[in-house]
C-alpha cells in the first residue's frame, strides 16, 4: 500500500517537514506562512499553489494521516475480500492495529507535533472515528446487530470499546512511542478480556 506520505511531491514533503519542525519549535499559533516557506526554501507563490494558509495545511496533513489509517484499519479488509472474523475477540484485528501502529511510529514526528499542539484533539477524535468504523465493519461480519450489549445501549458500548483502544494508542504517542508496536498490541489484546477493576487486583 502506498500511503499519502509516499505520494507527496518533493515540494509538499518540504512544506510538511517545515510544518513539523515549526510545530515542535514554536507551536501552531506562532507559526506563519513566511516561516514555513523560509524553512522549506520555497517562495510564497509555491506554497499557495498547494494550500490556502497554515490552517488549510494543517487540515490537509491531518486528513492525509486519517486517510492512511482508515486504509490500514478499514478499507484493506473490503479490498482484499477478507472473510468474516470468527470471534468477537477479533473485532479489533490485531494485524491491522499492529500495521497502524507501525505507520504511526514511522510518522512519529508528525503525530508528536500534532498531539503536542495544546488543545487540538481533532486527530484523537478522528482516530476514534476510524476505530469506530472498523468496529462497525467487523460487527456486521459477526452479525452483531443488537441495540444493546450486556444491557448497555449500543452507542455507549461502542464508546467503551473504542475509547479504551484509542486511549492506549494516544498515550503511547504522547509518551514518545517508546514501546514497540507489538508491545502495544499485546496491551490492547490483554485489554479485550480484562475488566478495568482487574488491573487493581
List the CATH number of the domain containing 132.
Answer: 1.10.357.10
The range of the structural domain enclosing residue 138 comes to: 4-200
Question: How many residues does this entry show for the chain?
Answer: 201
How many Cβ atoms from other residues are within 10 Å of residue 119's Cβ? 5
**Average confidence (pLDDT) over 74-79:** 64
- Beta-bridged to residue 153, according to DSSP, are 148
pLDDT, residue 18, reads 97
Let me know: does 100 contact 68? Beta carbons within 8 Å: no
User: Pick the residue with more confidence: 36 or 74?
Assistant: 36
pLDDT at 122 over 90: no
User: Pick the residue with more confidence: 176 or 92?
Assistant: 176
- Going by pLDDT thresholds of 50, 70 and 90, the confidence category of residue 84 is very low
**pTM higher than 0.75:** yes
Q: How far apart are CA 123 and CA 58, in angstroms?
A: 11
Per residue in 150-200, pLDDT (tens digit) is 677 878 878 888 888 899 999 999 899 999 999 999 998 888 777 665 665
Structurally, the chain folds into a number of domains equal to: 1
Q: How far apart are CA 36 and CA 19, in angstroms?
A: 6
Let me know: does 18 contact 40? Beta carbons within 8 Å: yes
Q: How far apart are CA 128 and CA 130, in angstroms?
A: 5
In the structure grid, which three cell numbers stand for residue 150, read together?
A: 450486556
184 by Cβ neighbours in 10 Å (0-12 / 13-18 / 19+) ranks as buried
Choose the weakest-confidence range: 47-56, 129-138, 149-158, 181-190: 149-158
Q: How far apart are CA 91 and CA 84, in angstroms?
A: 10
Let me know: does 130 contact 70? Beta carbons within 8 Å: yes
Choose the weakest-confidence range: 23-27, 87-91, 188-192: 87-91
Per residue in 162-176, pLDDT (tens digit) is 888 899 999 999 899
Q: Which of 43, 60, 42 is nearest to 5 (CA)?
A: 60
**Average confidence (pLDDT) over 20-31:** 94
Amino acid at each position: 500500500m502506498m500511503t499519502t506520505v509516499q505520494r507527496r511531491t518533493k515540494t509538499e514533503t518540504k512544506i510538511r517537514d517545515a510544518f513539523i519542525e515549526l510545530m515542535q519549535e514554536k507551536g501552531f499559533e506562532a507559526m506563519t506562512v513566511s516561516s514555513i516557506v523560509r524553512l522549506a526554501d520555497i517562495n510564497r507563490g509555491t506554497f499557495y499553489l498547494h494550500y490556502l494558509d497554515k490552517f488549510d495545511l494543517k487540515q490537509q496533513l491531518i486528513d492525509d494521516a486519517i486517510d492512511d489509517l482508515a486504509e490500514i484499519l478499514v478499507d484493506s479488509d473490503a479490498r482484499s475480500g477478507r472473510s468474516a472474523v470468527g470471534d468477537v475477540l477479533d473485532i479489533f484485528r490485531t494485524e491491522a492495529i499492529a500495521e497502524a501502529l507501525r505507520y504511526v511510529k514511522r510518522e512519529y514526528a508528525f503525530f508528536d507535533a500534532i498531539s503536542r499542539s495544546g488543545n487540538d484533539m481533532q486527530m484523537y477524535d478522528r482516530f476514534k472515528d476510524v476505530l469506530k468504523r472498523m468496529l462497525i465493519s467487523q460487527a456486521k461480519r459477526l452479525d452483531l446487530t443488537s441495540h444493546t450489549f450486556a444491557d448497555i445501549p449500543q452507542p455507549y458500548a461502542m464508546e467503551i470499546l473504542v475509547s479504551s483502544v484509542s486511549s492506549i494508542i494516544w498515550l503511547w504517542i504522547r509518551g514518545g512511542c517508546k514501546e514497540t508496536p507489538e508491545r502495544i498490541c499485546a496491551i490492547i489484546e490483554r485489554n479485550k478480556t480484562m475488566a478495568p477493576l482487574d488491573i487493581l487486583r
